[in-house]
Structure 1
Amino acid sequence: MEIFSTKEDCCGCTACASICAKNAIEMVKDEEGFLYPHIDTEKCVNCGLCAKVCPVKNNRVEKFTKQKAFIVRSHNEENVNASTSGGFFLPIAEWFIDQGGYVVGVCYDNKLNVIHKITNKKEELIDFRGSKYVQSNLADTFSKIRKLLNSNQKVLFSGTPCQVAGLKQYLRGNDQNLWCIDVVCHGVPSPKLWEKYISEMRTEYESNIKDIKFRSKVMGYHTGNMEIHFENGKHYYNTARTDMMLSCFFGEISSRPSCYHCRFKNIQHVSDFTIYDCWSYSKITGKKDDDKGWTHLIVQSEKGLETFEQLKECYEFVEADIRKGVNLDGSMIEKSAKPHPKRAEFYRDFDTETLSEHVKKYGLITKRDYAIDAIKKILFKLHILQFAKNLKG
């Protein structure tokens, strides 16, 4: 049995491994650190279920004619400050738990691996906030969700569009009590890259990491920073220009092969809610942007509309035009990123040198980048950040 012919055809969603009744499929890391299904031919009975639940092979979306778009922000200021954009996720997640349901989101484990976790405890929801630009390990999450649904529990799942599509295919229609939020995805770098990054940061700062944010608002929403707090009290923050992890990510040199040929690039998704960054609040609303962050929200289902109606009091929001939002801020909804010309080479010799040497070798951070970031930090400390944000590079 063959599930995919090339790596561009596998998004690593785990649906195939989760559905196999014979446990013949195992998710195995390749040389780049991405997980792919490996079939044990001695256990496989060629039932074909793995191919039937593959979201890449079976990418069907039923058009929802009442699709609506909003720009939203949580009324909870602490939540907004700690979130990547407008803090949409936390209020709806808290509401689900208040209703007796379960929430499935992305967080770090105690070794800073990026994983999916299931909880019905409100105090654990803060771990799910914020972007994590790494492919999460789903492990047996899908099968656990199915057990909850079979016991008539309500579940809210958050993930990338391909993960949501994979979960929906795996459940094969048993999703009446499932709500899904998909986050518009730029691509997912390898966990191997992430492991190397945090290892070198620990070495450089001579300490374990206490807290980390991929998109901190330490310098405002429009100047997102990688921010790390270390146990020894040291503090690091750098923008995507000069941070090693972010420069690899936005340099399009580190994402999964399927991300550059994504099959899920469409305004219509199988989720109930689609969210992405709102950078153009002023252009869309005509109001001043306070640089705290807003979220574009597309409601994709009747169930989603009914839920949002019950949660409106949790948000500051304005209804928006879907196409205008996509045109201004959402190109990644419809278009795949174009890979760096040396993307394959980047991973091929990845183990031969440190990440800092590797980033320098592939020209991902230049002297000019360091200079611009240094100027921005100076202006930020002098409380004239707005000038820094107007710097072009």
Structure 2
Amino acid sequence: MLTIKQITENTDAVVRGLEKKHFKNAKETIEQVLALNNKRKSTQVVLDTNLAEVNTTSKAIGALMKEGKKDEAEAAKARVASLKETNKTLQADMDQAAHDLQQLLYTIPNVPYEEVPEGNGAEDNLVVKMGGMETPLPKDALPHWELAKKYDIIDFDLGVKITGAGFPVYKGKGARLQRALINFFLDEARASGYTEVMPPTVVNAASGYGTGQLPDKEGQMYHCEVDDLYLIPTAEVPVTNIYRDVILDEKDLPIKNCAYTECFRREAGSYGKDVRGLNRLHEFSKVELVRIDKPEHSRQSHQEMLDHVEGLLQKLELPYRILRLCGGDISFTAAICYDFEVYSEAQKRWLEVSSVSNFDTYQANRLKCRYRTADKKTELCHTLNGSALALPRIVAALLENNQTPEGIRIPKALVPYCGFDMID
């Protein structure tokens, strides 16, 4: 969440940034934050003054009694009793103001960087790079859901039977392709200096608040109500929360973690052609990159993550493009975000396969994730993450773009992981 210092020292810039994100009533909300903060601070001043007077007066009572000044001592006792009652009210008022302030801050998104373009939605995102080759396909090229049925590698109907729509069953070479991609992505991440972790796929509410999924995305998460636990929408949540309430040493930054997990998203309200087949699932596999860094190095870290994801798509021989998201399409928590999309020749559309984001101090402030500088000062870290990569649409693009009359060709980089070079 935004820091009070950030809001008080750069109020106009914060309001402009929130307006770029199309956050409703930005100015009024920030004014409310400032009012609550002022109330908390002013109440604290009165309370501190009263506590000091209680302390001083309490010490004086004994001396007054020794001097035989009983009336003055009784008056002092009455004054202390009155102050203590007043202080109870002041403490309650201050606690309420602090609580209301915290809850309000949870509802305010991150402020985007200056280079984030203006815009309302996906149509206004800025294409910054394109790569890969166009794929010549047979005249009767099929979409991946037809290919999956033809080669018996993914069974969508069986998934509906077992669980429901959006939970496919991978079979035979389809399952082996999934496992190959997971291992390929993890090996590539480790080769780039990431430490692999295997976190839980269920988290508590504190973890959801820590990375900003709660309260913003509560309706999109699967909630185990009896235990008040949530199925993760991305490994970002458990991996970043490893560093909640932690003070790191500056010399240990940046910290680089990668993790493979299953991910779960309700995707409420999704329907139509955009969700057919593997295009949008409720459960899917993903390898995630997470970095914890110091502010002056986080932009370099972000670029290194972008280069890493681009390298994966190049090795998979897929046509891709990189977009800088506009203010109206960027996520609630991100300060800047780039999306990677691969082109599906059979569907004639772009499919998002990765988002790589820098959150600045927004998540770190929620997490209380800090680092200690060489001169012993404590500062908030920057957090970053990115998909490297999400599997469903990668699989869809691989199947569609590599179909031949003989079968589906496996990219060279994946053959050692699959153990086969063709699905036929």
Q: Same fold (TM over 0.5)?
A: no
- TM-score category of the 2 structures, normalised to the smaller one: under 0.3
TM-score, scaled relative to structure 1: 0.25
TM-score using structure 2 length = 0.24
